[in-house]
A and B are shown apart, each in its own frame.
Chain A
Amino acid sequence: MKRPPVLARAVARSLVPFGGERAAALVPHARLAGPMPWVIAIMVALTVIAGAGGLALSNLAHTARSELSGAATVQVVEPLKVERDRQTRAAEAALSGLPEVASLRVVPDDELNALLDPWLGSEGDEAVPVPALIDVELRGPANAERLTALRRALGPVAPAARVDAQSSWLGPVFTAISSLQWLAIALVVLLALTSAAAVWLAARSALGGNRGTIEIVHLLGGTDAQIARIFQRSVGFDAAAGGAVGLALGMAAVLVLGRQFAALGSGMVAGGGLAAIDWVLIAAIPLVGVVIAMFTARLTVLGALRRML
């Protein structure tokens, strides 16, 4: 009888990794994939939008704070125009001589009227006395000490003048921005958890669908790590494909939203653009998604395999 050649020599046995295309073929890809790439694409797109929103808000708050931290507004609240103009000129002269003041600008009446026209109409400018405004740029933050120095200088020459730090005007806005930032962070975390849950469900479903194959590999001496690697690889491909699509969708949405906000022409919103580093962070979102998906798949598969002998 002819002896099969394989019996003539022993085959080396070891616990080296079982991987690559051949290992991946053990689990039919279609069964594992299903809607997974699309779920991940949607999650990544939403995460990109939420992340970009959070970063834009952070930039906006940072820009506004740095611009306003050394700024103060002087209002001359005097109903008589002649007296208001006199006190404004006196205040301008007094402030110009102060060492705390870096620069100042009396806001022209035309500019003030243009700001108020939408609410008061063009005739309202004459009927309603509007305070005169002086924008003051300080040499340093608008703290209580500097504001007191301004008030002391203005008291004798412009008794109708009121001095405020510009940042205090926008305090509630900063609080709102901060809340939105936390909301964006919470959304990103929730989306990451939801993605992990989706991968967990998909991995469990794939495990159930391939239980027979897994048992065979297990009984042939396949280690838990080898079997987990097969699923990890498959989930990794799904997550990478979904992540790429999600990133493209999310970035398109961010660009459209960015253009629309830029069209508002608001100086404050203009400070909320995305810097190069922000785009790098956004581009990293799908990579983080792939890592989370593969890690979740690994933990899920290892947990299920531990229930086997």
Chain B
Amino acid sequence: MTGDSAEVVTFDNVGLRYGTDREILSDISFTLHPGGFYFLTGASGAGKTSMLKLLYLAQRPSRGAIRMFGTDVITLPRDRLPAFRRRLGVVFQDFRLVPHLSAFDNVALPLRVSGVRESELRKPVSDMLDWVGLTHRAEARPATLSGGEQQRVAIARAVIGRPDMLVADEPTGNVDPDMALKLLRLFEALNRLGTTVVVATHDVHLLRKVPDSLIMRLDKGRLSDPTGALRFPPRREPPRVQALA
């Protein structure tokens, strides 16, 4: 089921329910392309976090098909999933930093999990901490960091391995506008290098700051597609987000 694909992720008629409750997500179909910058919007409880969980392989859907990097990840044996997860970068809404590790070690974690040698990871991790303005807090534990600092560590951890796809859940929710813009520019820099970026956010102002982005809007578990760009199969020339303004 693996093969070269022009799509990073394809959802085909995906539904998700927990237990016997009603579906959290229904009939979700879209395709994310390499190098795309996507915003996922919607009110609280619309299903954004559940959809991100499907995207970063923390959850299997109740129905439908998901292909990632050309592979059907629904039927994939679980021992093959780590290789796919290593191609993803995730910024969790609650940061999920390891509490007893320093900021440095938290940022280094994806590289260590991937087997990068200690001698090779010190410089990139230091550079990344420098870039998010936390060099002076490199040895600090998460509990001693402010919310904004924790968020920056979480973002640094998500992008340190230069993922093929970055999934971020409200990544600018706890930082000041300047830092929010700076982080967004980091996502754009990653995006220009070919990383597909998916950002879930409430912040409508953020959408306008990335003019080439596409929008997915979730409403009560259903995907509305205001730009018409995410249909499955997608249009050849997707309209850009400026069209919404």
Contacts and interface: CB of A to CB of B under 8 A. Distances in A.
A22 B83 CA distance: 21
B96 A222 contact: no
Nearest to A26: B98
Interface in A31-84: none
B47 interface: no
B82 A5 contact: no
Given A1-B185, A1-B189, A22-B118, A219 B58 contact: yes
Range for the number of chain B residues in contact with chain A: 35 or more
Given A18-B113, A223-B79, A7 B185 contact: no
Interface string B72-104: 000000110111111110100000101111000
B15 interface: no
Given A10-B162, A216-B98, A219-B90, A224 B114 contact: no
A309 B186 CA distance: 30
Given A1-B185, A1-B189, A13-B114, A223 B161 contact: no
Contacts of B83: 15, 221
B85 A6 contact: no
Contacts of B112: 18, 22-23
Among A14, A216, A220, chain B packs the most CB atoms within 10 A around the CB of A220
Interface of A: 1-7, 9-18, 22-23, 25-26, 28, 212-213, 215-224, 226, 306, 309
13 contacts: A6-B159, A7-B159, A7-B162, A7-B193, A13-B87, A13-B161, A25-B100, A28-B100, A212-B99, A216-B109, A219-B57, A226-B113, A309-B60
Interface of B: 56-60, 78-79, 81-88, 90, 96, 98-101, 105, 108-116, 118, 123-124, 127-128, 130-131, 159-162, 185-186, 189-190, 193
What 8 A-B pairs are tightest by C-beta distance, nearest first? A16-B115, A221-B86, A221-B85, A4-B131, A6-B124, A221-B82, A5-B127, A222-B113
